[in-house]
Amino acid sequence: MASSSSVVSSSSSSSSDKGSGRILQFDPFQSLVDEGFWHRLSSLKLDSLGLDQSPIPLTGFYAPCSHPKVSNRLTLLAESLPSDFKELQFSLERAHGNRNRCPVPGTLYNMNTFESFKALDRDSLLKKEAKKILDDIHSGKVEEDSAVLSRFFIISFADLKKWNFLHWLAFPALVVGPPAVVLNLQPAREVFNQGEAQSLSAALNEWRNSSLTTGVLYFLVSIASNSCATIRQLKDWKACQDDGQKDGKIQFLCYREKRGFADMGLSLVGEAVISPSKDCRDPQCVPKAVGWEPKPKSINLAESMNPERLAVSAADLNLKLMRWRTLPSLDLGTLSSVRCLLLGAGTLGCQVARMLMAWGVRKITLLDSGLVAMSNPVRQSLYTLDDCLDGGSLKAVAAARTLKRIFPAVEAEGVTLSIPMPGHPVPTNEVARVLEDCERLRDLIASHDVTFLLTDTRESRWLPTLLCASENKIAITAALGFDSYLVMRHGAGPLSVSDQTNSLSTVDGNGGQRLGCYFCGDVVAPIDSTSNRTLDQQCTVTRPGLAPIASALAVELLVGLLHHPNGIYAPGEIANSIMSSSEQPFGILPHQIRGLLPQYSQVTLIGHASNSCTACSTTVVSELRRRGTEFILQAIDHPTYLEDLTGLTELIESANSFKLDWDDETDDADDI
């Protein structure tokens, strides 16, 4: 070896041939794909990519191996992939590495189907990626970023139903002609004298310890006549272009480490004859290449995944697939974070809870005061016979427990509480409990975003309607007759959004007339509807198919409302007012939906807020805010009080006193 030499270094491991005249070959990387990589790809596929099969930039990581007979391992981690669509679209910078994770650029080709994976032209793809390496050499890019010399790519198919991932990696290597021939290959300690070896080790350790160069494992080494070693970037090749390369001969160093330090016994120094053909100097040349791993690999993550995580992924799969083609505007974040309070855990409550979970709602509170009866399980889908035994379980608690068994990730809570109702006077010894229930119901409504009114009686909907109007919360009612149903969303409360002093108004937040609530069409206050009733009148006797229909419509109404830009202030629409589907991807947003099962008919209606409403009018909400629970207690004990307060009494008396004077005389034909 000359006293002054220049060596091109590679972090790949060379063969251990000691003789001369052998073809120079470099061991390819060994791939290792971490589970986190597939989880990140799954999220990226479902949330951002959809059907897009465009190449995805990757970053692989490797470090010099410490074993003399083991190839370097290229690892793909979660951070190898972009975390979201914005990063994928706007930030193609390579992930940062460190001395144990040197970054290497790569590309992912993920196919939508197994058939398209098999149909890929692997030879053409390998040549395409190898051409990128050759282009980077001609353009000089390798001088600024030598990691592109180790470029790799991966083809894959992700079966997200079965959590099975099929993949095949390739590390393109240019095939030059004629092949490079090894003249000599020895451990570095046998080539360098002690001073050169110590200086080179120190320079290499300094190079690897610097944050600027720790990931740069293609470099130039110069050893001066005084045994001092210097390491340079490839861009400085002109400074030593006359050293180490004579008559097509080139010296190279295959760098190895042991316990994080340069090891001259494991590192190899060789000399080879390289005579690249003229074709390789042609920028338009499509080079021959090798580099595919021997065979594709398959990994199944279903067994290694937490069952709860599997359940969440499976539940979200259908919703995320909706965004690929039909509903790209579907906001799963809003749906998963919205807090829903279900008043009533009966036939309607059970169905609504299931529908909410199907739409990705994860925060559900059920409120009911009853026990599970023997007649419940066949109609109410969250109960079984076991819930009926020993007198019956508390409905709300049992329903929440079943929701968690169905889907462990749901945040379900059961609250046992009786809703105070007008027409049901409160005994003196029960006043404190009823007032406590009123306060607790107010707190529940205030802490939730949406309240579903799903109770059996009309009067049980009054207080929740009033509290929702006062808190300006979304309220949705579903009510059943024997063969008819009503589903409606209540309008916004009588709050003036332009005045933050809690003033009241009959105008909604958009300046239009407010939509009405469940009680706006009534001319009498809610009263006791359960006393002195026969058994069929006490029970909710309906055709079994009504509850699923009404429950589904109630939840669909909420989803549409949550995606409307005006939210609770969205105007009511009827069937013939639908605009283009691009403007309203969920269709119209009705105020009321009324259906008749005997005719299999359904109509959409709009009803505006009434100034005399006993539940949401300015007068009633103002009185609630002024007197609080004292007002509620008076309305419960004296139902006519609400009629007097809102002017309904005067309206009824005026109507009863109105008389018509009939003219008994018959007009002549000439007068008609």
**How far, in Å, CA of 25 to CA of 459, rounded?**
86
Structure-token match 């749906």, residue found? 335
Q: How many CB atoms lie within 10 A of CB 200?
A: 26
232 touches 222 (CB < 8 A): yes
Residue from 488, 491, 490 nearest 505 by CA: 491
**How far, in Å, CA of 340 to CA of 238, rounded?**
70
Angle, helices 462-471 vs 618-627, to 10°: value is 90
475 touches 342 (CB < 8 A): no
Q: Cα 575 to chain center, whole Å?
A: 32
| Helix %, strand %, coil % of the chain (to 5) | 35, 20, 40
* Alpha carbon distances (Å) from 89 to 54, 78, 82, 85: 11, 18, 9, 6
Sign of CA dihedral 263, 266, 267, 268: positive
190 residue type, one letter? E
**How far, in Å, CA of 288 to CA of 130, rounded?**
8
429 residue type, one letter? N
Residue 76 token pair: 């793909």
> Can you give the C-alpha Rg of the chain in angstroms?
38
Sign of CA dihedral 563, 566, 567, 573: negative
Q: Cα 579 to chain center, whole Å?
A: 29
Residue among 285, 388, 520, 539 flagged as catalytic: 539
Question: How many CA within 13 A on the CB side of residue 456?
Answer: 17
Residue from 456, 459, 420, 457 nearest 441 by CA: 420
Residue from 494, 457, 477, 501 nearest 610 by CA: 494
Structure-token match 């190899």, residue found? 268
Q: Any bridge partners for residue 253, and if so which?
A: 9, 269
Active site residue 539: yes
166 touches 298 (CB < 8 A): yes
Burial label for 214, CB within 10 Å (0-12, 13-18, 19+), is middle
**How far, in Å, CA of 251 to CA of 249, rounded?**
7
3-state secondary structure of 45: helix
DSSP-assigned letter for residue 342: E
User: Which are the catalytic amino acids?
Assistant: 539
